[in-house]
A and B are shown apart, each in its own frame.
Chain A
Amino acid sequence: MRLSRPLRTTLGALTIAVLVMIYVPLFVVLVNSFSTSQSLVWPPPGFTLEWWGKAFQNQGALSALWTSVQVATLATLISLVLGTLVAIALQRYRFFGRQSVSLLVILPIALPGIVTGIALNNAFRTILGLQLGFFTIVVAHATFCIVTVFNNVQARLRRTGTNLEEASADLGAGIWTTFRLVTFPQLRSALFAGGLLAFALSFDEIIVTTFTAGVGTTTLPIWIFQNLFRPNQAPVVNVIAVVLVAVSVIPIYIAQRIAGAERVSK
């Protein structure tokens, strides 16, 4: 399509404007983490490294970080298995209720987090009589993480088709051999990308976590939220915020690179 020059320029300018809007708030947090002022004043009256030192010695934050890593790892592993199984089933078979199953996978993220949160809270506490804690968080996170793995694997299966698998079966390979030598290698990077997104999703989740964590278990988002409104903790929160942005950017960047590289090589 021929776009007029002014239109192209306008679109380009809009894109740049949105990019600036996206980065400015994050930049403000970065600068605040070096500010000598404890309140959110702009521009900062002076700069210091004090908060960065304090943040790395903050026991509460560090143990919350460790909890988050453990929860996200377990939730990712569970969602990798379940998401892959259901993606293969939906993509390779036609059966009654197929639409309903795909809706079922989407539902935990299509419904507001508060619904997922209170439904699970109620089920764990009132119905099952369980104590909320580490494992109830893992179960809750795995439930809504399934969909990211599912999406990635399903898209890959749709693109690769069944030719290679059929050829493998024609050559005498059994189901396990075909999966191990043909299907799995084709899925590997999709699983990696889906797993990374699941990890990031779990690591970042707060609403569902609040409802399924109980009082004793603190993930990093919960720790941040608890300390957000405490004036003397605010600078430390700034530092952790910056670290979180930096760290969460890595998996997304890698996932994008993989997806991009595959699109190019295709």
Chain B
Amino acid sequence: MSSDASAPPLKRAGVPAPAETPARRLSVLLSRAPRLRLGLLLTAPLFWLGLVYIAALAALLVTAFWTVDSFTGTVSIEWNLDNIVTVLTGAVYQAVTLRTVGVALLVTVIDILIALPIAFYMAKVATPRMQRVLVILVLMPLWASYLVKAYAWRSVLSEGGLVDWLVTPFGGNTPGYGLHATVITLAYLWLPYVIMPIYAGLERVPDSLLEASGDLGAKTWRTLRSVVLPLLWPAIIAGSIFSFSLSLGDYITVNIVGGASQMLGNLVYTNVGAANNLPLAAAIALIPIAIMIVYLGLVRRTGALENL
């Protein structure tokens, strides 16, 4: 204690004392109050997301219980369950919901089946140099414009198009536009969103783990099934959220290559645009919301949401 008093005052060579500016005082205040700091960080983003997005979703839910005045065509605030009942019991809505969910599931399964081997080759087989080239090659064109890619498939599948030209010598025809074209195109569109998380997930699986499994006598398939797959689940599910959700709401691709088939998105679109029935459109939109909430709730515990 006494030695402290006799010691020369501490010198901070070359560092001038900070000037007492308002900014400095605020800085000192903030560094002493982590809660305040956190509050300031979160205010703007929460304000935006809460006010713009959550409020809009809540309003959508409310609107589904309103009606449209059949004379004026304006939304009138008359509370009733008509729209919800229509959507839940109407044969058209049930059929379209089943079709949409079916397409979304099929697209997701196809994408995962394609993504797994490709991502595995990229992450574990290719040389580091090749790996970087492959990442760019696989991801770059697929990030390119959504419409262009849907249109490209229209062009490929059209009558007299590339597929026709390829299969005509063998007595075939192009399958043309329809539900199968929708599935192909959507699977093509969302493939990067599935490959990316799976590739990232595989990169995180250490090679030493795979070697240990091999040393313990596991064959390739056994290692893949018992070591790689369990570690990869969150990444696979993260990818599936994109392909499933994006397919669930799509109506543009269906318009471009789907022929006469309709999905939930088309119903929402017609009711907002041509029919100008926002309440009914809102009620229809609740279907994909409900499906996604259930889906996200189911996968929450897998840690998939941290892998997005």
- Interface of A toward B, CB cutoff 8 Å: 1-4, 7-8, 11-12, 14-15, 18-19, 21-26, 28-29, 32, 39-43, 78, 81-83, 85-86, 88-89, 93, 95, 101-116, 118-123, 125-127, 139, 142-143, 146-147, 151, 169, 171-172, 174-177, 200, 204-207, 210-211, 221, 224-225, 228, 237, 241, 244-245, 248-249, 252-253, 256, 260
Selected contact of A113 from candidates B12, B34, B132, B246, CB within 8 Å: B246
Q: Please name all residues of chain A whose beta carbon is closer than 8 Å to the beta carbon of B137 when the two chains form the complex.
A: 19
Are A248 and B282 closer than 8 Å at their CB atoms?
no
Are B152 and A110 closer than 8 Å at their CB atoms?
no
Selected contact of B55 from candidates A15, A18, A123, A221, CB within 8 Å: A123
Q: Please name all residues of chain A whose beta carbon is closer than 8 Å to the beta carbon of B38 when the two chains form the complex.
A: 89, 93, 95
Q: Please name all residues of chain B whose beta carbon is closer than 8 Å to the beta carbon of A147 when the two chains form the complex.
A: 308
User: Which residue of the partner chain B has the closest CB to A14?
Assistant: B117
Are B250 and A241 closer than 8 Å at their CB atoms?
no
In the complex, what distance in Å separates the CA atom of A81 from the CA atom of B50?
16
B79, CB-defined interface residue at 8 Å: no
Q: Please name all residues of chain B whose beta carbon is closer than 8 Å to the beta carbon of A42 when the two chains form the complex.
A: 155, 160-162, 164-165
User: Which residue of the partner chain A has the closest CB to B64?
Assistant: A122
B124, CB-defined interface residue at 8 Å: yes
Q: How many chain B residues touch A (Cβ–Cβ < 8 Å)? A: 102
Q: Please name all residues of chain A whose beta carbon is closer than 8 Å to the beta carbon of B306 when the two chains form the complex.
A: 102
User: Which residue of the partner chain B has the closest CB to A203?
Assistant: B145
Query: Given contacts A114-B249, A126-B278, A253-B140, are A7 and B49 in contact (CB under 8 A)?
Result: no
Are A86 and B165 closer than 8 Å at their CB atoms?
no
Q: Please name all residues of chain A whose beta carbon is closer than 8 Å to the beta carbon of B55 when the two chains form the complex.
A: 123
Looking at the assembled complex, report how far the CB atom of B280 sits from the nearest CB atom of chain A, in whole angstroms: 11
Are A139 and B52 closer than 8 Å at their CB atoms?
yes
Are A11 and B117 closer than 8 Å at their CB atoms?
yes
In the complex, what distance in Å separates the CA atom of A110 from the CA atom of B37?
29
In the complex, what distance in Å separates the CA atom of A125 from the CA atom of B74?
11
In the complex, what distance in Å separates the CA atom of A147 from the CA atom of B45?
11
Looking at the assembled complex, report how far the CB atom of B227 sits from the nearest CB atom of chain A, in whole angstroms: 9
Are B154 and A40 closer than 8 Å at their CB atoms?
yes
- Determine the main DSSP class of A at the interface with B: helix
Selected contact of B121 from candidates A15, A118, A204, CB within 8 Å: A15
In the complex, what distance in Å separates the CA atom of A26 from the CA atom of B141?
8
B260, CB-defined interface residue at 8 Å: no
B294, CB-defined interface residue at 8 Å: no
Are B246 and A11 closer than 8 Å at their CB atoms?
no
Looking at the assembled complex, report how far the CB atom of A49 sits from the nearest CB atom of chain B, in whole angstroms: 19
Q: Please name all residues of chain A whose beta carbon is closer than 8 Å to the beta carbon of B188 when the two chains form the complex.
A: 21-22, 25
Looking at the assembled complex, report how far the CB atom of B46 sits from the nearest CB atom of chain A, in whole angstroms: 7
Query: Given contacts A11-B121, A14-B117, A175-B27, are A19 and B138 in contact (CB under 8 A)?
Result: yes
In the complex, what distance in Å separates the CA atom of A41 from the CA atom of B305?
44
- Enumerate 29 A-B pairs (CB-CB under 8 Å) in ascending A order: A1-B207, A1-B211, A2-B220, A25-B188, A26-B141, A29-B148, A42-B165, A43-B165, A101-B46, A104-B46, A107-B53, A112-B248, A113-B250, A114-B249, A114-B288, A119-B59, A119-B60, A121-B272, A121-B278, A122-B59, A125-B278, A126-B75, A177-B27, A204-B146, A210-B269, A211-B272, A221-B147, A224-B147, A245-B141
Q: Please name all residues of chain B whose beta carbon is closer than 8 Å to the beta carbon of A109 when the two chains form the complex.
A: 242
Are B44 and A85 closer than 8 Å at their CB atoms?
yes
Are B285 and A115 closer than 8 Å at their CB atoms?
yes
Per-residue CB contact flags for chain B residues 150-171 toward chain A (1 = under 8 Å, else 0) read: 0111111010111011000000
**Max chain B Cβ within 10 angstroms of own Cβ: one of A104, A105, A122, A253:** A122
Q: Which residues of B from 254 to 291 have beta carbons under 8 Å from A?
A: 256, 264-265, 268-269, 272, 278, 281-282, 285, 288-289
B28, CB-defined interface residue at 8 Å: yes
Selected contact of B41 from candidates A25, A43, A86, A120, CB within 8 Å: A86
Selected contact of A172 from candidates B15, B42, B52, B285, CB within 8 Å: B15
Selected contact of B49 from candidates A15, A22, A104, A121, CB within 8 Å: A104
Are B24 and A174 closer than 8 Å at their CB atoms?
yes
In the complex, what distance in Å separates the CA atom of A247 from the CA atom of B3?
70
Query: Given contacts A104-B49, A221-B146, are A207 and B121 in contact (CB under 8 A)?
Result: no
Are A82 and B44 closer than 8 Å at their CB atoms?
yes
Selected contact of A245 from candidates B24, B46, B145, B220, CB within 8 Å: B145
Q: Please name all residues of chain A whose beta carbon is closer than 8 Å to the beta carbon of B138 when the two chains form the complex.
A: 18-19, 22
Are A118 and B282 closer than 8 Å at their CB atoms?
yes
Q: Please name all residues of chain B whose beta carbon is closer than 8 Å to the beta carbon of A108 when the two chains form the complex.
A: 49, 53
